[in-house]
Structure 1
Amino acid sequence: MKFKVVEKFISINGEGKLSGQLAIFIRFAGCNLDCSYCDTRWANEKDVEYEWMTADQIYEYIKVNGVRNVTLTGGEPLLQKGIMELLTVLSLDPELVIEIETNGSIELGPFTKIEKNRPRFTMDYKLGSSQMESKMLTSNFKYLGALDTVKFVVGNIDDLKRAKHIIDQYQLVDKTSVYISPVFGEIEMVQIVEFMKENKMNGVTLQVQLHKIIWDPEKKGV
């Protein structure tokens, strides 16, 4: 089985629990959503350039570079045909920490059956400003645990209110890590902090996209 890889590079994790730590990124082509604020839309174009890589080739690239944290991203990585083969290969190496950045519209159940060194999910719940909330599978919340993350990307106050509603309704803080991230250039972080204070959002973490602060926000491969 071969996979459409549009980028592979070493950088730091810009978000999440491992923010600031080195990671190898494998970015796959294609996505089933079209979020209004998507910053990797180029990777979803039908004519995007990619290289075919087997699971063994991806694993070899990871091992040769000697970085333990691995982020599979896109696009939507779980759309890749045969992705379970790759996840199985990677999970067999206990030295690796595998993170899957998924867009919230793909059923996660099948991927939780990997018993040893299961990949960690960062599930991005799409709010109103994304124009994709109707595609979200709230049933996925039952698969998330202490190692996983739910991320809410907010673009306005209505997104913040909706995020709080979802967090409370599904008691996400008691199940998994919960992060709020601003749409770059659309909302001031001070607004998010004030909202969190007013609503006593204990256990919720505000995050910034470090890679957009360190490098040009449009730069690829970082």
Structure 2
Amino acid sequence: MSYAVKEIFLTLQGEGVHAGRRAVFLRFAGCNLWTGREEDRATAICQFCDTDFVGMNGENGGRYSAADLAAKVDSLWGERQSDRYVVMTGGEPMLQVDDAILDALHNHGFTVAIESNGTMAVHPKVDWVCISPKAGSDIVHKHGDELKLVWPQNASDINEIEGWDFANFLIQPMDSGSHIENQANVIAATEFVMARPKWRLSLQNHKILGLP
């Protein structure tokens, strides 16, 4: 098995419960809700994605074996042995994640987190599960450590979502690329949380700080 990787880089987690935490981001290429091509966006299930996950031409991108991929993550983290944390993301990482890569990362001492759209069952060896459901998709993974709902979108019944088994429920303002629309989305997300105190507001701090 070889893994198609868009990019791998060391940064700070910008979103969610672990915002501000040092992390290696391992971005797999490919997604099952959008091709990543702009000409296909209007007909995609997920039309608001703001991430480039196409191809393998990003920083440290390419095809890797499990051993080589874990070694690359290890080298980017550096010599510090404690609090090793890697975030597997995409695209949709569960299109590729399997026993081999999870075992290899664990053997290097990493806590492994995943950011998934929830349309595929997350591997049970993943240590921290963040699901970000997209309206119109069939969500099969309804439990985990955090649920991150980008807002606003034509989401499923919020009452149903609140019944899913997550430790943390987060609302994140959608990044539309327009300053005016983004401000409106922040207001909408804030109003959502004020009306539903089970949820917390999550911002994309890496964009605010200018981090990758």
| TM-score over 0.5 for the pair | yes
Q: Give ranges in structure 2 of 5+ residues lacking alignment.
A: 35-45
Asked whether 1:210 is paired with 2:212, we answer no
SS of the residue corresponding to residue 192 of structure 1 reads helix
Asked whether 1:177 is paired with 2:185, we answer no
Deviations 1:126-173 (A, max 9, x none): 13xxxxx2x222x421xx24xx111111125x55xx5632333x254x
**Match for residue 102 of structure 1?**
116
- Corresponding pairs, count: 187
SS of the residue corresponding to residue 203 of structure 2 reads coil
**Match for residue 79 of structure 1?**
95
Quote the RMSD (CA, aligned, Å).
Answer: 2.3
Q: Structure 1 residue 89: deviation in Å? A: 1.9
SS of the residue corresponding to residue 43 of structure 1 reads coil
Q: Structure 1 residue 203: deviation in Å? A: 3.0
Instruction: Tell whether the 8 Å contact from 1:152 to 1:163 is kept in structure 2 after alignment.
Output: no
Which one of the candidate residues 113, 118, 132 is aligned to 1:124? Answer: 132
Cα separation, 1, equivalents of 2:2 and 2:146: 28
Structure 2 CA distance for partners of 1:155 and 1:194, relative to 1, 3 Å: closer
Following TM superposition, where does structure 1 have runs of at least 4 consecutive aligned residues deviating by more than 4 angstroms? none
* Paired AA for residue 101 in structure 2: L
* Paired AA for residue 104 in structure 1: G
Deviations 1:34-93 (A, max 9, x none): 2111112x323xx5534111111122122222371101111111101x632101222344
Q: TM-score, normalised by structure 2?
A: 0.78
Identity %: 29
**Match for residue 53 of structure 2?**
43
Q: How does 1:181-196 map to 2 (within 5 A)?
A: 181-185=172-176, 186=181, 187-196=184-193
Deviations 1:183-210 (A, max 9, x none): 114433233222322x3x2231111101
Structure 2 CA distance for partners of 1:171 and 1:30, relative to 1, 3 Å: closer
SS of the residue corresponding to residue 202 of structure 1 reads coil
Q: Structure 1 residue 121: deviation in Å? A: 1.1
Higher helix fraction (1 or 2): 1
Q: Structure 1 residue 18: deviation in Å? A: 1.0
Which one of the candidate residues 48, 70, 87 is aligned to 1:59? Answer: 70
**Match for residue 149 of structure 2?**
152
Q: TM-score, normalised by structure 1?
A: 0.75
* Paired AA for residue 140 in structure 1: H
Cα separation, 1, equivalents of 2:164 and 2:66: 36
Cα separation, 2, equivalents of 1:28 and 1:167: 27
Q: Give ranges in structure 1 of 5+ residues lacking alignment.
A: 128-132, 216-220
